[in-house]
Amino acid sequence: MPANRQFRGAFTALVTPFTSTGAIDEETFRSLVRRQIDSGIHGLVACGTTGETPTLSHEEDEWVIATTLEMASERPSRARVRVIAGTGSNSTATAIRATRRAAEIGVDAALVVAPYYNKPDQRMLESHFRAVADEGDLPIIVYNVPGRTGVNVEAATLLRLAEHPRIVAVKEASANMDQIATILRDRPADFSVLAGDDTWTLPMLALGGDGVICTCANEIPGEMAEMCDAAFAGDWDTARRIHERWLPLMKANFAGGPNPVPVKAAMSMMGLLSDVLRAPLLPLDEPNRARLKMVLQTTGALDSTPTSAEKVAAKA
């Protein structure tokens, strides 16, 4: 493992569970985070897209971030998993404020998405990320996801940003292998490149990538951590076996509805949470739910469903 890269491995983009009334289900959230840590996950991302951040209040954002950090820190005898907070906004000033607040809470880094809706050009994108890095008091992970934001952080722009001492990584979800390969080839030695699409994790690891910020680790955290560890150890047969087994689940998590609609449906079937989302998102419809259940059954994901005793122990 390159000692000078701060972020390597599997990082879970945590879902935010809700009660039937729409409030954050605090007990379940703590159980989910504890399950992640017990499974050997390398890091946690609080308040990303998968966490339904657009529907959370600032107070709820801070609770989720602080609670994730609290849970990650409760075992002093173990190395604490890294905690990353989503602090991005399409307002540079808002992103700076959110990043500063996350720094006060004590997280390891901020995940900052490219500004959405207002469609800044490359010059504007570079200025935005530099401002957050200069003024936000945290290491910054650039989040490039053109399918959601409407803008692409091009390789040349990202590589200029990578020279900034506080811009330490990118979550690359452009689905553009030419762009990703260029970044991996030309990045500074201390700059981490993380997959932003679950299905691209193994190909990016094979090109020298550093891991993934992923959705499917909500369901299979131990398996995603194992795949990354195997790749880092040069055990490509094991890494490929894990990838091939769970590829149908990675794809099913994005079928039939926007993230996190399918993954919450899957986790509900696994007995991990109640299938409640905040509007405008709605639960997965029945035809897609049936297809998702079949994937869970054929991959063996339902075999890891916690027993009643385990659920009680997790909540204790």
Instruction: Quick: pLDDT tens for 151-194.
Output: 999 999 999 999 999 999 999 999 999 999 999 999 999 999 99
Query: Alpha-carbon distance 152 to 116, whole Å?
Result: 10
Looking at residue 201, what is its pLDDT?
A: 98
3-state SS class at 71: helix
Looking at residue 232, what is its pLDDT?
A: 97
Looking at residue 79, what is its pLDDT?
A: 72
Query: Alpha-carbon distance 33 to 239, whole Å?
Result: 24
Looking at residue 118, what is its pLDDT?
A: 94
Mean pLDDT (whole number) for 134-154: 97
Contacts of 143 (CB under 8 A, 6+ apart): 86, 88, 111, 112, 113, 114, 170, 171, 173, 196
Percent of the chain with pLDDT over 90: 91
Type of residue found at 196 = G
Mean pLDDT (whole number) for 117-134: 97
Task: Name the nearest CA neighbour of 170 among 1, 4, 13, 7.
Answer: 7
315, with CB counted inside 10 A (0-12, 13-18, 19+), is exposed
Active site residues: 143, 171
Query: Alpha-carbon distance 46 to 65, whole Å?
Result: 6
pLDDT in tens, 80-93: 799 999 999 999 99
Looking at residue 303, what is its pLDDT?
A: 82
Looking at residue 210, what is its pLDDT?
A: 98
pLDDT in tens, 188-238: 999 999 999 999 999 999 999 999 999 999 999 999 999 999 999 999 999
Domains of the chain, each with CATH number or no CATH: 9-235 (3.20.20.70)
Chain mean pLDDT for the chain: 94
**What is the pTM assigned to this prediction?**
0.93
Looking at residue 315, what is its pLDDT?
A: 39
pLDDT in tens, 258-309: 999 999 999 999 999 999 999 999 999 999 999 999 999 999 999 855 443 3
| Out of 20-29, 40-49, 287-296, 306-315, least confident range | 306-315
Looking at residue 2, what is its pLDDT?
A: 60
Contacts of 197 (CB under 8 A, 6+ apart): 173, 175
- Look at strands 82-86 and 9-13 and give their pairing: unpaired
If one compares 102 and 4, the residue with the highest pLDDT of the two is: 102
Type of residue found at 79 = A
